[in-house]
Structure formats: C-alpha cells, structure tokens
Amino acid sequence: MKICVENVQVENGGIVAFCRTSIGDFKGMWTQKEEPLIGKEYYVELGIEEYLNGIAVSVVHDYSVSIKEQLVHFIGLCEGADEEVMYIRLSVDWIEMVDLVGGIRTGDDFVSFSADYRKIKIYPYTI
C-alpha cells in the first residue's frame, strides 16, 4: 500500500512513523535503520503482531484506519479466507491477512480490529 509519512518520532530507540493513507491515518514502528523522510510517499506492508480484543463484525460498513492515543483502529471488508487467515480489504491497494475467526462471512462482513501502534511494524519496499 502507499503511505505518506506525516511525522517521525524516536521512542525508546525505535522510530515511530505517523502515516497518512487513502482511508485515514495510522502510526507504527518503522523497520528501517534510517528514518523515513517527512512528506515522502512510500510503499509498505504492515506486520501486526497482536490484535487487541480480537476481530469482530463491524456495524460500520466503510473502510477506515484511525489513531486513538496508543491504538490504531482498522475497519475493512473480509474478502476471503483459507484454513489459517482471513483477507481483509482496507483499500484498493491494501489487504491485511489476519488470524481466522469463525462466524464472519467472506464478501459480506466488514470487520474491525485494533492494535497498539508499538505492535505494528512498517516494512517499506520498492516497486
């Protein structure tokens, strides 16, 4: 997915990147040794190490990501699943793979989940 870095902070020896996407803002831990440049666009993948309070069907049927204090909240459409993971569409160029949860219908259900920003790893890549 494509992000734009809005701000950068050093925290406990790690780099926290505040990022803008087409569906909202999030923050997470930048995995490169060099800080990202503020205002620059990057292509990234996320590694979310832990979901708080699990993954649930959302009453909101709109794609979004937002920051509330230490948490990042995600809402997306469950597009599919296999034996281990669900594929959650968050935007045209953004799919997250999350642990499989029963009772969620692929193609029909929007789901929500949250993570502490310190558990979200940002992996930049070059196209």
Token pair of 98, please? 């999350």
Could you read off the pLDDT of 42-69 as tens digits, one per residue? 999 999 988 888 888 899 999 999 999 9
Q: How far apart are CA 110 and CA 88, in angstroms?
A: 8
What radius of gyration do the chain's Cα atoms show?
A: 14
Could you read off the pLDDT of 22-32 as tens digits, one per residue? 999 999 999 99
DSSP bridge partners of 7: 18
Average pLDDT over residues 110-116: 94
Q: How far apart are CA 103 and CA 114, in angstroms?
A: 19
Break the chain into its structural domains and give their ranges: 2-125
Q: Which residues contact 15 (CB under 8 A, 6 or more apart)?
A: 8, 9, 29, 30, 32, 35, 36
- pLDDT bracket for residue 12 (50, 70, 90): very high
